[in-house]
Amino acid sequence: MKLFYSPTSPYARKCRAVAIEKGLEARVEIVPASPMTDPAALHSANPLGKVPALVLADGRCIVDSPVICEFLDSLPGAAKLIPHLDAARIDCRTREALADGISDAAFSRTMERLRPEAQRSSEWNARWTNAIRRTIAHFNAALADRPHPDDAQPDLGDIALACALSYFDFRHADLAWDREAPALRVWLTAIEKRPSLATTAPPPA
């Protein structure tokens, strides 16, 4: 199978990290794609023109990182990233959705910055920033409920959060989110030592 990805995308990184956690690297060929240049191969895999997109050997295409991760996790592998039991599963998927929401708001901030200054919206920028701040504070406060990354297999919610925080660092380091969430920084440093995250980190800015 082929995974269209960009090295800076937190959603694509999440999928790549899940593949590595599962021990599926050899089965997932990674294909770089730059979505903003509208490559035809990406459009035929994902008409939305977004990365990540996964193309299976039989030609079927799977899009949206939560669905791709669910598919990868359904394959036999070294780890299980999405719990089976309902309550744990819903908790994991909710943390994934919140983390992806940080990535969504951070990506919107990134795109907004690329627009001519006169077209930028300070109201939207503040709204995205406030949503990110609240969500980071939420994760920081809930950290005690999660096992330390050195002690247990992280789940998909943990992987998504690491990718989101790291993307926020990569694109918006000036906001220094860890001033208000120092425990979450310690958590991020620990989890990013895992090979799945260490080998998929965004390139130096």
Ligand X SMILES: N[C@@H](CCC(=O)N[C@@H](CS)C(=O)NCC(=O)O)C(=O)O
- Footprint of ligand X (CB under 6 A): 6, 9, 11, 35, 49-52, 64-65, 100, 107
Least separation in angstroms between residue 64's CB and ligand X is 5
**Beta carbon nearer to ligand X, 71 or 186:** 71
Least separation in angstroms between residue 171's CB and ligand X is 10
Q: Burial of 163 by CB count in 10 Å (0-12 exposed, 13-18 middle, 19+ buried)?
A: buried
**Beta carbon nearer to ligand X, 49 or 77:** 49
**Residue in the block written with tokens 């080998």:** 199
Least separation in angstroms between residue 144's CB and ligand X is 28
**Beta carbon nearer to ligand X, 9 or 140:** 9
Cα dihedral: 47, 76, 164, 61 (round 10): 0
Cα dihedral: 26, 59, 10, 158 (round 10): -70
**Beta carbon nearer to ligand X, 93 or 150:** 93
| H-helix or E-strand spanning residue 29 | strand 29-32
Sign of torsion over alpha carbons 7, 12, 97, 21: negative
**Beta carbon nearer to ligand X, 35 or 149:** 35
**Beta carbon nearer to ligand X, 113 or 148:** 113
Q: Which residues pair with 3 in a beta bridge?
A: 30, 54
CA distances from residue 51 to 4, 5, 7, 8, 182 in whole angstroms, order as listed: 6, 5, 10, 10, 31
Least separation in angstroms between residue 37's CB and ligand X is 10
Contact indicator for 17, 196 with CB cutoff of 8 Å: yes
Least separation in angstroms between residue 186's CB and ligand X is 26
Tell me how far apart the alpha carbons of residues 57 and 180 are, in angstroms, rounded to a whole number: 46
Least separation in angstroms between residue 44's CB and ligand X is 15
